[in-house]
Each structure stands twice: as C-alpha cells, then as structure tokens.
Chains A and B, each alone.
Chain A
Amino acid sequence: GQSLEQPSEVTAVEGAIVQINCTYQTSGFYGLSWYQQHDGGAPTFLSYNGLDGLEETGRFSSFLSRSDSYGYLLLQELQMKDSASYFCAVRDTGSARQLTFGSGTQLTVLP
C-alpha cells in the first residue's frame, strides 16, 4: 500500500517563503504530485515530479528525492490567497493508478 506524511498545519506571513514537506512509503513509485484546495473548493493540480530534482512554476516549486522517499513544495513571496490546504499524492501501483493523498497541510498566511 501507500502512505504519506505531511505536517497538519503551517503558518507564515505575507511575502515569506514556506516549505511543506512530504515523506512517503510506496510499494512502487510513479511520481509525486501536489494539489491545492481552498476551503469549500475543489482540489487543483499544482505540480508533478517524476524524477529527482526541482520543478519550478512561478512562485511555486516542488522537489523530489526518490532515494529519500521525500519531497517538498516551496511557496515563495507568499500572498494571502495562498492560504489553503496542500496535499501531496502518489500513484497507486494497481491498474487504476489512482492517486493516494496525504492528509493535507493547512497553510495560513498572515498579513
């Protein structure tokens, strides 16, 4: 099976940088994804890492180390609108290849 661990809450101030870590245990690995979910909203795709290293998309970057079974999401120049829950996810090894999600990290950005 798959399991993921990420912090339940993170708080930071506007303009700061925050890193949300994710460690995982899987019987097979098909990449690490990150999703953002605002209160009452749908999860939306942020990034995907299939190989080791850093992927950058604007203010957001995501990192993966397969040897450490570890990844993180880095948010720079934080804005109030970044307050949301962030989920890391890995693909299941079954035929459905469905995503297994972590429990989510609630990010609160303070003024």
Chain B
Amino acid sequence: GAGVSQSPSNKVTEKGKDVELRCDPISGHTALYWYRQSLGQGLEFLIYFQGNSAPDKSGLPSDRFSAERTGGSVSTLTIQRTQQEDSAVYLCASSPGTGDGYTFGSGTRLTVV
C-alpha cells in the first residue's frame, strides 16, 4: 500500500488476555520497527526487523512481548497476559533500509482494563 497500515486502530482488552497487533509496512521497505508511546511521552523502541535477519529484540520490556515478521512483510506484535501498564499506543514504522527516515503507521491504541 501507499503507507504503513496498522490494525486494529483501537483495542480494549481485559487484564490477563493476549493481544495481537498487526503492521503492514510499505511495499519494498526492508526495515520495520515497533515503538510504544505512553500518554504524553516519547517513543520507546521495542523491536527491529531487517530483511530476513534475526530481529533486534533489545527493547522488548518483558518476555510477555514477542513479534514476528512473515515473508519480510507483515509483522505481528503479540502481548501475552496483558497488564494495565501495557496500555499505550503501539506504533509501527518502516524504512527502505537501515539508517533511512521512518514512515509511521497511525498506531494501535491498546487499553487494558
């Protein structure tokens, strides 16, 4: 597509449930990043994918968080046993390659109740 697409745009879940967030990057962009933005805060790096290389998971806050990128395109961020502190906007970005400017999606607003 023309831009980075994320779904769902909003997700309300009960504490303890698992959630999956989807990101469809710009076609041809090899680099894909997930960030988290809490209310009124900056963007916290979570995980990075580059082509078929092993992802950089150094930003994941706990082992409840995981992500996959299938076929070098669509990515799914999974949060298991969600906690209230997981409530945030989860942003996905893609770029043509490492070191290039990002194009962000509109994000998924996750609310854990």
Once the chains bind, are B48 and A104 in contact (CB under 8 Å)?
no
Give Cα A104–Cα B102 distance, bound, in whole angstroms: 17
Once the chains bind, are A97 and B98 in contact (CB under 8 Å)?
yes
Expressed in whole angstroms, the minimum distance between the Cβ of B6 and any Cβ of chain A is 9
Expressed in whole angstroms, the minimum distance between the Cβ of B38 and any Cβ of chain A is 10
Once the chains bind, are A96 and B42 in contact (CB under 8 Å)?
no
Chain A residues within an 8 Å CB radius of B42: 87, 101-104
A76-109 CB contacts (< 8 Å) to partner B = 87, 91-92, 94-104
B56-111 CB contacts (< 8 Å) to partner A = 56, 58-59, 91, 93, 98-99, 101-107
Total chain A interface residues with beta-carbon distance under 8 A: 23
Once the chains bind, are B107 and A42 in contact (CB under 8 Å)?
yes
Stretch at the interface among A13-21, A43-51, A67-75: A43-51
Total chain B interface residues with beta-carbon distance under 8 A: 24
| Residue in chain A with minimal CB distance to B98 | A97
Once the chains bind, are B99 and A43 in contact (CB under 8 Å)?
no
* 10 closest cross-chain pairs (CB), A and B: A96-B48, A42-B104, A96-B56, A103-B42, A101-B43, A101-B42, A45-B101, A42-B106, A43-B104, A97-B98
Give 15 A-B pairs besides A35-B102, A96-B48, A96-B58 with Cβ atoms closer than 8 angstroms: A33-B101, A42-B104, A42-B106, A43-B43, A43-B91, A87-B43, A91-B99, A96-B50, A96-B56, A98-B45, A98-B59, A99-B33, A99-B45, A101-B43, A103-B41
What are 13 A-B interface contacts by the 8 Å CB criterion?
A: A42-B91, A42-B104, A42-B107, A95-B56, A95-B98, A96-B48, A96-B58, A98-B48, A99-B33, A99-B43, A99-B45, A99-B102, A104-B40
